[in-house]
């Protein structure tokens, strides 16, 4: 009797998820760069445009980055004429952020890229599978809390 071969090695889910996230992120970064932006610039533009996160501290929290990191992004975007910052008169510690006309134009251009990227990601999934994936990803993240 010949020995039974071992079962195939299946990569752990964390590794598979990391590989997929890396590939998706790289594809998104390339698409954003071709349109004159970046994934981080898109995230800032989107958060400021929705007016839910129009303070520097709120942006850092929403992006999951440090205040120093968001300051770095905002400094670059302000130098490019994409955002404008000012301090609140009533509380000088609070720094507000808004899009300039150039920032709003870049937002529109990058929004089209983001929508096409999302459509590309969903192209191999049914609506039901997309919903399942969203739920599963949320459950994976919640398992880390």
What was the pLDDT predicted at 41? 94
Q: Span 38-120: which CATH code?
A: 1.10.10.10
How confident is the prediction along the chain (145 residues), in pLDDT tens digits per residue?
Answer: 678 887 777 778 889 999 999 999 999 999 999 999 999 999 999 999 987 777 888 899 999 999 899 999 999 999 999 999 988 788 877 788 999 999 999 999 999 999 999 999 999 999 999 999 999 999 998 998 8
Domain boundaries, the chain: 38-120
What was the pLDDT predicted at 88? 77
Question: What would the DSSP string read from start to end of 38-91?
Answer: -HHHHHHHHHHHTTSS-BHHHHHHHHT--HHHHHHHHHHHHHTTSEEEEE-SS-
What was the pLDDT predicted at 128? 97
What was the pLDDT predicted at 99? 95
């Amino acid at each position: 009797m010949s020995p039974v071969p071992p079962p195939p090695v299946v990569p752990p889910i964390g590794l598979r998820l990391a590989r997929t996230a890396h590939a998706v992120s790289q594809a998104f970064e390339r698409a954003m760069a071709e349109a004159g932006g970046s994934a981080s610039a898109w995230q800032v533009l989107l958060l400021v445009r929705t007016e839910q996160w129009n303070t520097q501290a709120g942006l850092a929290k929403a992006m999951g980055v440090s205040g120093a990191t968001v300051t770095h992004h905002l400094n670059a975007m302000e130098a490019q004429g994409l955002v404008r910052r000012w301090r609140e008169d009533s509380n000088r510690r609070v720094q507000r952020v808004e899009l300039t006309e150039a920032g709003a134009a870049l937002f529109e251009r990058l929004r089209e890229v983001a929508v096409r990227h999302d459509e590309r990601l969903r192209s191999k999934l049914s609506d039901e599978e997309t919903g399942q994936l969203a739920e599963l990803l949320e459950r994976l993240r919640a398992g880390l809390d």
